[in-house]
Structure 1
């Protein structure tokens, strides 16, 4: 029976565990979760999901054929300590932001089947937008398995690794941009006299409806926007302010800067981790 092991037991690990069980990708008895020392957290996951938990990484690596790296990025080297020699035909799946396949390979000291993934925090409710990229050693069968892992918590797209920084800037950080937008809409709603609780419900449903329209329509978002923008109407008046404030340019700059920062962090982690290994 194939087993999957998580090194790291934080929110992303839990989101994946919940999705894998709910989607019948893995049964609870096929899932092993470990962390360095937080027994209370492991007990919590064991009771909630029925998964096996352990502090013994060596046993986890021996038992599981898929290893998910879900610790904090700065702890990736420590996460591999003592188990490098046990990594053989395993599929290594990393959800660590800023840690490249090259860096993981350097820490392992050998080539391995490694897939990098960039999910987002909406994984917690099964709505993540995830992109994955694999090393040269990853087979098509392994890639399909990875797609099934991440489709259990949302959607999954395959990209080249050099595109993952852009994915990070777009959808990895994307939920925070939407939350920022909602914050602004809530403040505006109060200023124009709406009850904040009523406003919240209206904003949420507006976002859900607009998202669904984009998803099911064959029309470009710009066309959908034009169709609800009557000449000299309220929408046109509001859009004119967004244009005046250069909101489009701000969003483009925002995503570009987040992408650049992802590239910077990747270079920093690579230098620190590989240098410390020497």
Structure 2
């Protein structure tokens, strides 16, 4: 093992209870930035052995297939990240309840699942960090919102911050603001990808090659984001600078306004937040299942 691999920022074992796309994004980011050694990360899911084997081969993490081994690992892991599908969360958390100790940290990445609901399902005031990362964490450019329960120690809080700061930016908010944050940054990459799809489709219809459209669109979106970041100017100010009266850009923006583009985006963000709350409320009503 090379020397750099021994100097990780987090020395504790982290268990990802769920192994979907978001869990993989965070794990890949943590390993790539040497925050945690691969052997100090375990991943498990309900029954998809092929998926776990794939993750083990790609990242060198530990995986568990046997139910008894899973529970033993969860019992002793200092940090447990809830990353299963929302519909599986209630049963999985209830199954954790009898095996947890007071000093274990629960980190949830499940949309809509409140700290209060998690503690209620556990039947105890466990230390819980509720997070909402996005998939850009994979390349260290994630944007993560988080809220922390009062039970976290200073060390546990630092563990959460270190995990997610290593894969992007972190914004700590009051929990009642986490849904709207989800609508902006948690699901936000999908809105941008959708816009990029449309831009590339327009270019292809106009006669450009797919490769040309892809390159131009990527660089345009990347450049626009960096301009906002580097100049510190408001997007509205930068937009005004490139919009000449009666010019081509103004004509394009007027076309977007015909479809109420601005308000549609706002509505999309708020609908995302609303749906997140709906999913969280539904979790409270889900009966316990024993199959996880």
| TM-score between both structures, scaled by the size of structure 1 | 0.91
C-alpha RMSD of matched pairs (Å): 2.1
Tell me what 1:8 maps to: 18
Query: Over residues 188-233 of structure 1, what are the superposed CA-to-partner deviations in whole Å (9 max), with x where a residue is unaligned?
Result: 2233332232112101100000001111112111111111112222
Deviations 1:150-200 (A, max 9, x none): 123222211111111101211122112112211221222233332232112
CA contact (8 A) 2:16 2:23 kept: yes
Residue 66 of structure 1 and its aligned partner are, at CA, apart by: 0.5
- Map 1:189-204 → 2, pairs under 5 A: 189-204=203-218
Q: Unpaired segments of 5 or more residues in structure 2?
A: 1-10
| 2:13 and 2:41 in contact (8 A); partners too | yes
Give me the whole-angstrom Cα distance separating, in 1, the residues matched to 2:249 and 2:81.
47
Is the 1:7–1:67 contact (alpha carbons within 8 Å) kept by the matching residues of 2?
Answer: yes
- The answer to whether the Cα contact below 8 Å between 2:196 and 2:217 also exists between their aligned partners in 1 is yes
Does the 8 Å CA contact 2:91/2:287 hold for their aligned counterparts?
no
Unmatched tracts of structure 1, length 5 or more: none
CA apart distance, 1:13: 1.9
1:48 aligns with 2:61: no
Residues 16 and 82 in structure 2, CA contact (< 8 A), matched pair in contact too: yes
SS of 1:132's equivalent? strand
SS at match of 2:286: helix
1-structure distance, mates of 2:140, 2:247: 38
Distance 1:106 1:24 in 2: 35
The alignment of Structure 1 onto Structure 2 pairs a total of residues equal to 276
1:20 corresponds to 2:33: no
Instruction: Give a deviation string over 1:109-162, Cα, whole Å, max 9, x none.
Output: 111000111112223333321101111212333222112111232222111111
SS, match of residue 144 in structure 2 = strand
1:228-249 Cα deviation digits (max 9, x unpaired): 1122222122222222332111
For residues 260 and 80 of structure 1, what CA distance do their matches in structure 2 show? 23
Matched residue SS, 1:83: helix
Taking the aligned partners of 1:92 and 1:81, their CA distance within structure 2 comes to: 13
Is 2:193 aligned against 1:179?
yes
Q: Which runs of 4+ in 1 moved over 4 A?
A: none
- Distance in 2 separating the partners of 1:270 and 1:176: 27
Which of 86, 94, 112 is the matching residue for 2:99? 86
What are the Cα deviations for residues 24-53 of structure 1, in whole angstroms up to 9, with x where unaligned? 211122112222333332222222222222
Are 1:57 and 1:83, in contact at CA under 8 Å, matched by a contact in 2?
Answer: no
